Amino acid sequence: MSDYKLKYQEWLEDPYVSDEDKEELRSIAGDEKEIEDRFYKDLEFGTGGLRGIIGIGTNRINIYTIRKATQGLANYINKKGGAGRGVSIAYDSRRFSEKFAREAASVLNGNGIRTYLFSTLTATPELSFAVRQTGSIAGIVITASHNPPEYNGYKVYWEDGAQVTPPHDTEIIEEVKRVESLADIKLMPEMEARVNDLFHIIGYEMDDKYIAAMRRVSLDDGAIERVSDDFRIVYTPFNGTGNIPVRRILSELGFKHVYVVKEQENPDPDFTTLEYPNPEDPKAFTLALKLAKEKNADLVLATDPDADRLGIYAFDPKTNDYVPFTGNMSAMIIAEYLLSVRKEKGLLHEKGSEAETESGLTGMLISTIVSTNMARAIANAYGIEYMEVLTGFKYIGEQIKLFEQRKNYFYEFGFEESYGCLAGVHARDKDAPIAVMLLCEAAAYYKDKGITLVDQMENIYKKYGYYKEEQKSVTMKGADGARQITALMEELRKKPPTGFGDYEVLKIRDYKCNKVYAPGSDETGLTGLPSSNVLYFELSDDAWVCARPSGTEPKIKFYIGVKGESREDAADRLEALKAELMKSVGQG
């Protein structure tokens, strides 16, 4: 009998698995493909935690995989002597999110670890904020972010408020792997945990602190008040956690006309009006754009279910239509606004400035290796430093911690191309509510000067160059898909391309092997970043290509970037490069 069939049978006979859950397993008897997909492996506890399809099985997310992951985390926390400091826990609007959050608390309490559970669904960045506010040694968020409704997930944060990074991530993974039997998991009922001072609820006072921290980042000097009567915003929280914090911060800053998409306002784990609750997906904006046209809105905003990503459309009166902004574009709008206004106010830590002299710190803009190269140009123009880190906002959060410890840089702004950014250091993860705040503040600032965000984006292109980027994902589901993704990355390593159409490969960065080399050369350098299964190709004409298997979804992602002489030229270059890339990996 194959391994997956043995595991399937073990779960059917395990007294730890409930009768109701066994009934779900019996319902797939005879469906070999479904049984294999559910049991061919354990749902991997990766460097950020768990994410998977909800259901019963070792390769599904359920109370058993949640308990196992939490038992491993509890063992690690107790080894570090952190039981008394506790763990903060938040959850979003997805199926079983609150149940999974309470299961995690039960396991931690069963291991003598104090927990702080939010009283209601909460945005991921507020959990990041709360970890340091409560003095917790760790944090957990139950969310699948922007994935389809059949998914849920489990993200782990450390004491600095960022998702776990080395060495904590790999050491926690090892502890999770050591939990061999479900029967080894310790649980404590909530009432008993309350009596023993182990279970605590985080109330609305944390919301007040979080909002106050965001407001301290604001640079508004009256522009909002001057344009508020004629400034309209349409917003959708995609049936998730952003609804309250986003509307509250906009109201407190003085935005008078904020219209919410009613069908997507309240929690809905089925995302009934959304095929895919992702602000990167144009189809997800259908209802918001309809409302925007009715209200003559200046901006259309959408946050994903756990409110760490922001997508936008801006009205262009020249075409009488709404223009979509990529994550890179909206981040560059915010970055240019923040840096320029801070410079005007003498707050920018540029080299040789009064702010740098007084603090002894130079400003730093941080991005990821797959984000726009325009960020470097902006940092150079404002006389601050620029740093690239691996994909994943946890690496940006880690740098903020290191800056504070080493007292060497002042964090100005950080972003990644996947619609996430952070200004301020109140949180250590991407933060959609503060992105909304600053984007709307920037829009008001430019409207006060007589221009739209579309106009300002063109100004930025003219100033720095017409950079354009795109991500192309190829989905390969199940066990066969995982094997195909592995084989594709191996082939790219063994026989790396020397070019893509008209673009020559100048250098290859292999982050898994920690080396940088030119094709055909024996000379190698180091990437300087942690090991990650990523290949980056530096191309001629300031273009680039990157291949990275997703850590949370059954797909491989290809990132592409070019620099053109105009919008049209950049678009043409991008399409040509994308076609050549897809052809070279057998997807053309």
Separation CA 108–CA 456 (nearest Å): 50
Give the three-state DSSP class for 155: strand
- Angle at 340 (CA atoms; ends 335, 346), nearest 5 degrees: 125
The residues near 148 (Cβ < 8 Å, ≥ 6 apart) are: 271, 276, 277
Strands across the sheet with 409-416, in order? 385-389, 362-368, 409-416, 420-422
Write the CA distances from 495 to 198, 402, 436, 491, 584, integer angstroms.
55, 38, 44, 6, 11
Token match 């063109």: residue? 458
Under a CB-based contact definition with an 8 Å cutoff, are residues 267 and 244 in contact? no
Helix (H, G, I), strand (E, B) or coil at 561: strand
What b-and-e string marks burial along 158-169, b requiring 16 or more CB atoms within 10 Å of the CB?
A: bbbbbbbbeebb
In the block, tokens 């299961």 appear at 103
Coil/strand/helix, residue 499? strand
| Strand positions, DSSP E, 294-404 | 299-303, 310-316, 321-325, 362-368, 385-389
CB burial of 200-237 (b: ≥16 within 10 Å; e: otherwise) equals: bebeeebbeebbebbeebbbbeebbeebbeebbbbbbb
Strand pairing of 232-236 and 257-260?
A: parallel
Whole-number Å distance between alpha carbons of 130 and 116:
9
- Write out the two tokens for 219: 């640079």
Is 97 a residue of the active site?
A: no
Please report, to the nearest 10 degrees, the dihedral formed by the alpha carbons of residues 583, 584, 587, 588 taken in order: 0
The dihedral formed by the CA atoms of 488, 492, 494 and 497, expressed in degrees to the nearest 10: 150
Strand, coil or helix: what is 454?
A: helix
- Rounded to 5, what percent of the chain is helix, strand, coil? 40, 20, 35
Q: Which residues contact 359 (CB under 8 A, 6 or more apart)?
A: 349, 410
* Angle formed at CA 214 by CA 211 and CA 217, multiple of 5 degrees: 155
Distance CA 306, CA 479 (A): 29
Segment (H or E) for 509: strand 503-510
User: Which amino acid is located at 33 in the chain?
Assistant: K
User: Which of 145, 330, 353, 418 is labelled catalytic?
Assistant: 145
Known catalytic residues? 145
